[in-house]
């Protein structure tokens, strides 16, 4: 077996173990669901319990036959993905305080940079898109978007 196939097999087995652990977690919490009354004989615990058993059994099958996986990203790719996720989460969390447009300006600029724009283009794109989406989903379509100290 080649190194790549062995690596894929190992990754598949790790995923199977995670799924089986999740099945145990899900099943345990499923059996702890509190309820005082149910009009049907199965109750709210029955379906989750059945699904936990199914997930565990399928997880075991997956562990035995891990199959193939795609190539995983190198360090540079992992850093880029992490940057995207952290900046996205930070901007989304900050939206309520700083407002929609400033938060989106930062996010759009960072994503444009990640996808190869230079700083000038990224900033122009960030400002343009932030304003465009705000105009479309705010004043035009009547949506409620977070307002910061600047009012948008």
Cβ–Cβ < 8 Å for 79, 127: no
DSSP codes, 1-25 = --HHHHHHHHHHHHHHHHHHHHHHH
| Residues numbered 7-46 forming contacts with another protein, rule: CB under 8 A | 11-12, 15, 19, 26, 29-30, 33-35, 37-44, 46
Task: Please report whether residue 150 would count as binding another protein according to CB under 8 A.
Answer: no
Cβ neighbours of residue 92 closer than 8 Å, sequence gap 6 or more: 103
d(CA 99, CA 134): 10
Rule CB under 8 A: is residue 2 a binding residue for another protein? no
Q: Give contact residues for another protein (rule: CB under 8 A).
A: 11-12, 15, 19, 26, 29-30, 33-35, 37-44, 46-48, 51, 54-55, 58-59, 61-62, 65, 67-70, 72-74, 76-77, 80-81, 84-85, 88-89, 92-93, 95-96, 104, 107-108, 111-117, 121-122, 125-126, 129, 133, 137, 141-145
């Amino acid at each position: 077996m080649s190194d790549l196939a062995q690596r894929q097999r190992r990754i598949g087995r790790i995923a199977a173990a995670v799924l089986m652990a999740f099945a145990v977690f899900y099943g345990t919490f499923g059996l702890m669901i509190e309820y005082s009354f149910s009009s049907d004989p199965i109750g709210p615990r029955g379906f989750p319990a059945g699904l936990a058993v199914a997930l565990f059994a399928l997880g075991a099958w997956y562990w035995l036959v891990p199959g193939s996986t795609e190539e995983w990203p190198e360090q540079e790719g992992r850093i880029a993905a992490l940057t995207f996720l952290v900046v996205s989460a930070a901007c989304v969390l900050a939206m309520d305080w700083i407002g929609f447009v400033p938060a989106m300006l930062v996010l759009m600029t960072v994503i444009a940079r990640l996808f190869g724009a230079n700083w000038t283009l990224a900033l122009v794109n960030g400002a343009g898109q932030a304003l465009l989406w705000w105009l479309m989903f705010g004043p035009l379509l009547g949506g409620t978007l977070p307002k910061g100290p600047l009012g948008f």
